[in-house]
Structure formats: structure tokens, C-alpha cells
Structure 1
């Protein structure tokens, strides 16, 4: 059917048989390729965002990222990064020397567990260096662990206290070698070696403080005094 000049336009659809110009086809192909390349790059970039920034293999601890290290590192890399910072702080400020005895105040919480674990790893490394050194001129620093029993200040069932202390004993015993001394010290020991007398005096002192904040500040001061007393005997 021939094209018609009617207002309706071509009636034979002959325009469908007209080939597109080559340059138009090439341009369209380039656009499709560019779109595919961009999509792939965005996908890979998004995948990298969901991986540890250090090992590039495992997902970070906090899914979806975040402002802290837990949103950037996987579990293993987070630990190694934290230990490196801890060790750098200790060595750069000469906090521990080979002849020192280090006393770690241990409560059983996450912060004291991490501190004890990292101090243990530093001690273990020092021990390996000592064993490998023929002249053995530098000794290995000692590590002790102190747990302050505050059951006199807080209403805690005796069996709960025993269970907690036993759990701490297991934790400390597993961090060997080198062997670490564990000191379980009642907070009333700061007053006297006679625990009964010290307990009575501590209870009277705590009962004389009515303000909760003041009582907590007092206990904090007593903890420090107790640790100092243990340090003198360690």
C-alpha cells in the first residue's frame, strides 16, 4: 500500500522498514554499555562497603556500617586493631617494664576482661622472647589479678559471691603460662586484718552516708585504697 497524504499519515507502516542510521545504533549501544558498567561499579562499591576495611573478606561486626570501628572491621580485625592500640599505648608511655609486677583490677566485666587478656598476651610474648634469648638479661614482668569482694556494701547472696569468684578463678587459671596470682580481697580489709571488726566499721561508715551518689563515691575511694594495700603486698 502506498503512502497516503491523508491527515492520518502513512497507512502501510512503511516507516517500520526504514533502517536506523548506523551512528544512532552505535550511540545507543554505547549508552547501554555505559549503563551496565556503571551499575556493576556501583554494585562492587556497595559490596566493598559491606566488607571489613582491613581484610576485605569478612563483613563488619555491625551490619550496615557505622561511625565506630565495629562498623568498619570484622571480629578478628577489630580485635587485632584494638590490641595494637593497647600495646602501643603501653609501650610508648613505658607503662610496663621488664622488672615490674602488674596488678590488674578485675571485676569480671568486659573492660577488665579485655585488659587482663591483653596484658596476658604481652606477658606471654615477653616470656617467649625471654626463653628464646640465650643470655636472658631481661626478666619477664609479673602479673597479678585482684578481685575486690564488695558483698559487705551490697546485698549479695553468699552463694552468688562464691560462684562469681569461682568463675574468675577459672578465667585467671586459663591465662597460663605464665601463672598469675589471684588476690580476692574483701573491701573491709582496708580497715583492718580482722575482717569482723573491719566489716562492722565499714557498715557503720556506709550507714552514715544517706546520699546515694556520696555512698558510691565513698566506695570508689575505698576500692582505690584496697588496691593500694594489695599493691604494697604484691
Structure 2
């Protein structure tokens, strides 16, 4: 109990002191259903709650990219669980987008992946970039000025090593940022 209270206090304190988020600002939280993004969502929910001493002042929106077309066996009932958690328990606006959205009707993303990418690394990079593009589209549509992802250190380290192995070492600093600023025109 002590650790949890201290951790929540540190999280709220760090965000409020940094002045990253303005009062009433719309912020998009990327939610994958995994443990890291679930922990992030609960930290933010606690920080936005009325009972919090140092209450966060932004408006949270949650985005979920539905990957059931890529991994049908792994995604049984995950959509319903996400809807229940976000809308019924936390009461945040939820934006669900299929990873196949805005593609030609003739091609599914799965078909495109197997036709045009030769390696597993290329497929993973394509899916990662596709998800990020969809998140940007949602953020712009909902007038969110920031995007928060719930990546953990292991995923971040793997991404950095992968980028360096592919000759993208100049982008390491950009990969380390977990709050992405979106400039609306």
C-alpha cells in the first residue's frame, strides 16, 4: 500500500512539475490491452480522479488499434474487454480503429504484409509504423495535441537496438520520447 501511494504521488508530481500538459488540453493515450499500457492508463486515471491531491488537468482520450485481422486467435473478446474497461469503468472517450482501416477493399493488411515484406523485422516495423500513423490520424481528428504510449523499457531497448542494426542510429533520441507532440494546423 505504501509503495503504491508513493509511486502514484511521484507520477502525478513529475507530470505536474514538468508542465507538459496544459489545463484542459486534449491528450490521446494509446492503449494496446497489454500490461504496460494498462498500468499507464490506471496511473493517469488516478491522476485525473477528483480525490487526487495534485490532480492532472488534461482531458484524456483513449485509442485502441484493433489487430484482430492480423492475429485472430489472440484477440478473442479483447475488443469487448477494452470497451468495458475504458467506457464503463474509466468513462473516457474511446476511439477504436481497425489496423486495416483506409486500405483498399481488395487488400487486407495481412495480405500486404506477406506479399511485400520478406523478413519478420520488416513486417514488425511496418505494423509499428501503421499503428503510429493511425494514432496520429485519431489525434488530429480529435484535436489532441499530445500522444502518450505505454511502452516499457524492454520494448524500447529492443526497438533502439533494432533501429541501430538497421542503420537508423540517428533516430535513437526520437525513439526514447514516449510523449509525442502533435502540431495541429
> What is the TM-score normalised by the length of structure 1?
0.53
Match for residue 228 of structure 1?
A: 136
Match for residue 95 of structure 1?
A: 20
Q: CA deviation at 1:180?
A: 0.9
* Equivalences, count: 141
Structure 1 contact 144–181 (Cα < 8 Å) conserved: yes
Distance verdict in 2 for CA 1:91–1:218, change over 3 Å: same
Matched, 1:147 2:74: no
Which one of the candidate residues 177, 185, 200 is aligned to 2:107? 200
Match for residue 106 of structure 1?
A: 31
CA deviation profile, 1:206-227 (whole Å, cap 9, x unmatched) = 1210200111011111111110
> What is the TM-score normalised by the length of structure 2?
0.65
Match for residue 8 of structure 2?
A: 83
Quote the RMSD (CA, aligned, Å): 2.8
Match for residue 187 of structure 1?
A: 99
User: Separation in 2 of the partners of 1:80 and 1:199?
Assistant: 52
Could you say which structure has the higher helix fraction?
1
Could you say which structure has the higher strand fraction?
2
Structure 2 contact 86–92 (Cα < 8 Å) conserved: yes
What are structure 2's unaligned runs of at least 5 residues?
A: 143-185
Match for residue 168 of structure 1?
A: 82
Match for residue 209 of structure 1?
A: 117
Which one of the candidate residues 116, 121, 141 is aligned to 2:41? 116
SS of 1:105's equivalent in the other structure is strand
SS of 2:65's equivalent in the other structure is strand
SS of 1:102's equivalent in the other structure is strand
Q: CA deviation at 1:175?
A: 3.6
Tell me: higher relative CO, structure 1 or 2? Use CA pairs within 8 A at least 6 residues apart: 2
Structure 2 contact 28–62 (Cα < 8 Å) conserved: yes
